[in-house]
Amino acid sequence: MSQRKKIKALLESTETNVEITVKGWVRSFRNNQFIALNDGSTNNTLQVVVDFENTDAALLKRITTGAAISATGLLVESMGKGQRVELKAKEIEILGDCDPESYPLQLKNRPSLEFLREIAHLRFRTNTFGAIFRVRNSLSFAIHQFFQERGFVYLHTPIITASDAEGAGETFHVTNFDLANPPKTDTGEIDFSEDFFARPTNLTVSGQLEGELGAMALSDIYTFGPTFRAENSNTTRHLAEFWMIEPEMAFYDLNDNMDLAEALLKYVIKYALDKNADDLAFLSQRLAEEEKQKPQQDRSEMSLIEKLEFCLNNDFERLTYTEAINILKESTPNKKKKFQYLVEGWGTDLQSEHERYLVEKHFKKPVILTDYPKAIKAFYMRQNEPDANGNETVRAMDILFPGIGEIVGGSQREERLDRLEKRMDEMGIPKEELWWYLDTRRFGACPHAGFGLGFERLVLFVTGMGNIRDVIPFPRFPKNAEF
């Protein structure tokens, strides 16, 4: 097994006239002679030429689309068009048969993305999903490399927790109770003291609060793990299970935070462009064909590659929420009532259409919005002094990208104990349950900041896909936990 060569390496190599072994899955078999073989290392196939006159007919019948085979022979320069080299097979072994009558991935059919979600266990074998998940792999590696090069500590925060970092309450509960007959207290309520953890627990919605604890000793940490939201959302932007990157940095202010987030996004996008040029070229062509099916006014002005380079080649525009509201309020779409949600004035919670207008129409570059209204942001964000108009804001920041809107959300954290406790009281967040979080403000508090980057949103942006369920291997959403 260890002697096999990967097809990507063979196609990139200049070596010929050597005997090799390749293993993979048959994409097609023409004229009982030409196998297009793919092993997942690239979308490209290696042509394996079969000496059909000297090959057992029973074996030839088993070389069907989807079958797994091993082929050993001489790698030679190809005389045909479309490939530099081909393998003249001396020996072919069927490793796994595939019934062509029941195999759902046939060349003559071009299955829809919706159908492929129903067979997510097989969709990796298509060119589209092969490209997506190789790009996802590169982005994942690049994120770790970015932080490791900068001396960050990778911290594993808990998946089972008793806290709800956002205070949203939309969590998946964790219990080992018999749900049909849980123990009850004298007052008839569920007695969680009898549960496994002796208290109500849930799957994490964020590792941020625990990440802050690590930053208060290790200076710079990052998390990269699964998070869970029990939101009944059937949209192209929501999942019940997704991955988050959440760095937390001691001695950082909001400007340091923005600098790091911008550097991270540029780093990982450039890494994918460099490492996955073939995959991104394929996905760019796929997106261009998809765009042709849309009305002219709904088509993107940029190709996928142009959009990625657009983010690399522009410094992100930085402005306050207040400045953004003034721009949006005076914008043509707002005045002509073209926005679905009209911007009436300060305090408006910005929607994706507003964010995309700022990025794609007004500034024509990625945008970082800062200093949001205190009333629409989380309790842990550092509070500014009221402005001249009495508006109360926090040191928050969101990074907005073309085609997707918000991709990063973060803030400088509130390190002042009295201000933090007051805000928790205002929002009804019980201080006694977060005593451990408040301790970091009691014992050696310091200015610090962090942000969250939804990994699937990043993959969605880089691959140009339109539905977040297509950039995670096995999507979890309402009424679906298949595979």
| Total residue length of the chain | 483
- Claim to verify: residue 100 and residue 140 sit in the same structural domain: no
- Claim to verify: residue 73 and residue 145 sit in the same structural domain: no
Residue 51 structure tokens: 């000496």
Give the three-state DSSP class for 17.
Answer: coil
- Claim to verify: residue 315 and residue 394 sit in the same structural domain: yes
Q: In which element (H, E) is residue 262 found?
A: helix 254-275
DSSP string, 186-227: TTSSB-GGGSTTSS-EEE-S-SHHHHHHHHHHHSEEEEEEEE
pLDDT in tens, 256-314: 999 999 999 999 999 999 999 999 999 999 999 998 888 887 778 789 999 999 999 99
111 in a structural domain: no
**Residue environment code for 246-266, b if the CB has 16+ CB neighbours within 10 A, otherwise e:** bbbbbebebeebbebbbebbb
Whole-number Cα distances in Å, 115 to 121, 127, 470: 12, 15, 11
Pick the closest to residue 321 from 411, 236, 261 (CA basis): 411
- One-letter amino acid identity for 322? T
Domain range for 345: 127-170+205-470
User: Do residues 73 and 91 touch, judged by C-beta distance below 8 A?
Assistant: yes
- Claim to verify: residue 36 and residue 160 sit in the same structural domain: no
191 in a structural domain: no
- What band does 232 get if pLDDT is binned at 50, 70 and 90? confident
- Claim to verify: residue 267 and residue 385 sit in the same structural domain: yes
First-to-last alpha carbon distance for the chain, in angstroms, is: 28
Does residue 107 carry a pLDDT above 90? no
117 in a structural domain: no
pLDDT in tens, 345-403: 999 999 989 999 999 999 999 999 999 999 999 999 999 999 999 999 999 999 999 88
329 in a structural domain: yes
- Claim to verify: residue 94 and residue 140 sit in the same structural domain: no
Residue 428 structure tokens: 């009804």
pLDDT at 167: 57
410 in a structural domain: yes
211 in a structural domain: yes
pLDDT in tens, 7-58: 999 999 889 999 999 999 999 999 999 999 999 999 999 999 999 999 999 9
- Claim to verify: residue 50 and residue 136 sit in the same structural domain: no
pLDDT at 168: 55
Q: In this structure, what CATH number is given to the domain that contains residue 13? A: 2.40.50.140
Does residue 63 carry a pLDDT above 70? yes
pLDDT in tens, 400-431: 998 888 999 999 999 999 999 999 999 999 99
317 in a structural domain: yes
- Claim to verify: residue 321 and residue 434 sit in the same structural domain: yes
pLDDT at 234: 84
- Claim to verify: residue 132 and residue 99 sit in the same structural domain: no
Domain end, chosen from 71, 105, 139, is at 105
- Claim to verify: residue 30 and residue 132 sit in the same structural domain: no
- Claim to verify: residue 99 and residue 141 sit in the same structural domain: no
pLDDT at 247: 98
CA distance 269 to 258: 17
pLDDT at 470: 97
Find the range with the poorest average confidence among 226-235, 410-419, 453-462: 226-235
Residue 90 structure tokens: 């001396």
Q: Taking all residues of the chain, what is their mean pLDDT, rounded to a whole number?
A: 94
Count of structural domains within the chain = 2
Half-sphere exposure of 276 (CA within 13 A, CB side): 30
pLDDT at 28: 95
Q: In this structure, what CATH number is given to the domain that contains residue 380? A: 3.30.930.10
- Claim to verify: residue 240 and residue 318 sit in the same structural domain: yes
74 in a structural domain: yes
pLDDT at 237: 82
